[in-house]
Structure 1
């Protein structure tokens, strides 16, 4: 998987049984291991939001039109510090656009 370091790629698009579209981004690295990590995360979130809002998701996957969307960050540990602030801000901003933002801890 590309992960958040690759800010130009959508890592994974999936759909739940209820129709919710899930756009997943992956981060395998520990938080704070790379000074670019916070800017990479912000760019990746912006890429995903743009993919939804500019209609690219619906054009690529017409069956997702009108379905609820969740952007999910899969990571090994909960974000802390500045990264936690970025994710909280993203969740707040996306909620206003009816897009859910979720953090999923992976083993």
Structure 2
């Protein structure tokens, strides 16, 4: 799964000690000038939001009831300034709904642009 599969959830994980569920989006797209990447990402986040708000998350993972929920965006490419602005707005919108939004590079390798 990946960000281009806008109607599906890429990955779900739980941190039982922290009582947090992570819904991960795997994003390997390169940033473009026409904002196709941002529109695709917005569709994907809306799918995740529906999955959470409709109760589908708890149906799929009953142990997640009462846990904090985080949408984690795992980026391959360093975001543009426009993407960062979008992420800031998304963070606030989701926080207002009680959902955490985090984004960043692959935890081990960093952004593709940083690899040698």
Give the TM-score of the pair, scaled to structure 2: 0.83
Residues paired across the two proteins, number:
106
Unaligned runs of 5+ in 2: 110-116
* Post-superposition offset of 1:35: 4.7
Q: Which 4+ runs in 1 deviate beyond 6 A? A: none
* Post-superposition offset of 1:30: 2.3
Partners of 2:30 and 2:37 within 8 A in 1: no
Report the Cα distance in structure 1 between the residues aligned to 2:33 and 2:5, rounded to whole angstroms: 16
Unaligned runs of 5+ in 1: none
How do 1:1-107 residues align onto structure 2 when only pairs under 5 Å count? 2-17=1-16, 18-32=18-32, 35-106=35-106, 107=109
Partner of 2:112: none
Rg: which structure is higher?
Answer: 2
Secondary structure of 2:23 counterpart:
strand
Report the Cα distance in structure 2 between the residues aligned to 1:78 and 1:55, rounded to whole angstroms: 33
Per-residue CA distance 1:34-90 (angstroms, 9 max, x = gap): 752111000001111111111000011111011100000001233213322221111
Secondary structure of 2:103 counterpart:
strand
Per-residue CA distance 1:4-56 (angstroms, 9 max, x = gap): 11101100000013220000001112222775211100000111111111100
Secondary structure of 1:82 counterpart:
helix
Report the Cα distance in structure 2 between the residues aligned to 1:65 and 1:90, rounded to whole angstroms: 23
Report the Cα distance in structure 2 between the residues aligned to 1:90 and 1:65, rounded to whole angstroms: 23
Partners of 1:27 and 1:75 within 8 A in 2: yes
* Post-superposition offset of 1:104: 2.4
Partners of 1:26 and 1:75 within 8 A in 2: yes
